[in-house]
Amino acid sequence: MTLKTFFHRLGSPPYFYQISRPWGRAFAWIGLLLILVGLYGGLWLAPPDYQQGNGFRIMYVHVPSAWMSLFVFMVIAVCSFIGLVWRMRLAYAVAAASAPLGAAFTAVALVTGSLWGKPMWGTYWVWDARLTSELILFFLYLGVITLNRSFEDQKTGDKAAAILALVGAIDVPIVHYSVDWWQTLHQGSSFKGLTSEIAPSMLWPLLVLMAGFMFYYGWLVLWRTRSELLLREADRDWAQQVIGS
């Protein structure tokens, strides 16, 4: 099977529904394993930070979720593009399945970030570049989700949300850049210590956790996409068969 025919077949919901099942399982197990290992490394093996004590360990949740929040939005934007240009039903389903996950990652990043902020900066919130753009990202997610669900006809909702996601995807980097620039001109970066070098014993669990989060997301998104597909295609023959059996 050539790559082209593979993608062509992947676009067909029944085919995807069929092949995604084992993949989902595999992702779930790999993700679980990586997360356990990462957490063990991060919460037990890594030494306490000489400045922050054990507080820094919140990083092992915060950083992967912040990273995932951006990654998932990219996935949504790419899927939206594919959906709008090539009219691939699967792409819309993946985008719709991803949006709530992305919003959840963003929320976790925001909450853990503020919790971490209290000991670090003495307040839960500062108007910093990263924080602000993360918040905007959160609102964008909400917009995409609400828009998608607001229409009676799923296809209309998909397309509307896709347009928003694409405009938003252009916007997110600009926001990030703009806020950064806006802040640094006035007041020095509020937290310079943050980006300092991280000791290897702290770093590897972080990387493992990031990979774990990726697989975890992969599993969830496959699972959700499958149910999205079933819902969307409920009156087609293949879905009837799946539901029947």
Partner 1 sequence: MDRGAGSGLEARALELRRGRRLLARSLSFGVQPGSYLELTGPNGSGKSTLLRILAGLGRLETGQVFWNGATFNPQREEAHHARTLYLGHTDGLKGLLSIGENLRLFAALRGIREPIDEIEKGMGFYGLEHLKPIVCDRLSQGQRRRAALVRLHAFPAALWLLDEPTTALDREGVERFFSHFRIHLERGGMALVATHQSLARWIAPAGEIALGRSP
Partner 2 sequence: MNPWLFFFRTELGISWRERRRVMLPLVFFSIVAFLFPLTLNPKGHLLARMAPGIIWVDAMLAVFLGLESLFRHDHEEGILEQWVISPTSLELRVLFKVASFWTVTSLPLLLISPLLVLWLSFPLRGLGILMIGLFLGTVTLCFLGALGAALTLTLRQSSMLIAILFLPIATPVLIFGAHSAVLAARQLDPRPALYLLATLFFLTVGIVPKAISAALRISYET
Q: Identify residues 139-178 at the interface with partner 1 (CB under 8 A).
A: 152-153, 155
φ/ψ of residue 80, rounded to 5: -60, -45
Query: 11 to each of 142, 158, 203, 241, how far by Cα in Å?
Result: 27, 16, 38, 19
Task: For tokens 């980006």, name the residue.
Answer: 195
Token code pair at residue 143: 């917009």
Least distance between partner 2 and beta carbon 158 (Å): 9
The one-letter amino acid at 105: F
DSSP 170-209: HHHHHHHHHHHHHHHHHS--S-SGGGS---HHHHHHHHHH
Map residue 188 onto helix, strand or coil: coil
Q: Which residues bind ligand HEM (CB under 6 A)?
A: 59, 62-63, 66-67, 109-110, 113-114, 116-117, 120, 130-131, 134, 191, 194-195
Least distance between ligand HEM and beta carbon 17 (Å): 33
Q: Tell me the window of 127-135, 196-204, 206-214, 219-227 that interacts with partner 2 (CB under 8 A).
A: 127-135
Confirm or reject binding of residue 235 to partner 1 (CB under 8 A): yes
The one-letter amino acid at 149: R
Quote the DSSP letter at residue 49: B
Binds 235: which of partner 1, ligand HEM, partner 2, none (CB < 5-8 Å by kind): partner 1
C-beta closer to partner 1: residue 197 or 235: 235
Size of the site for partner 1 (CB under 8 A): 5
Least distance between partner 1 and beta carbon 119 (Å): 48
Site for partner 1, rule CB under 8 A: 152-153, 155, 234-235
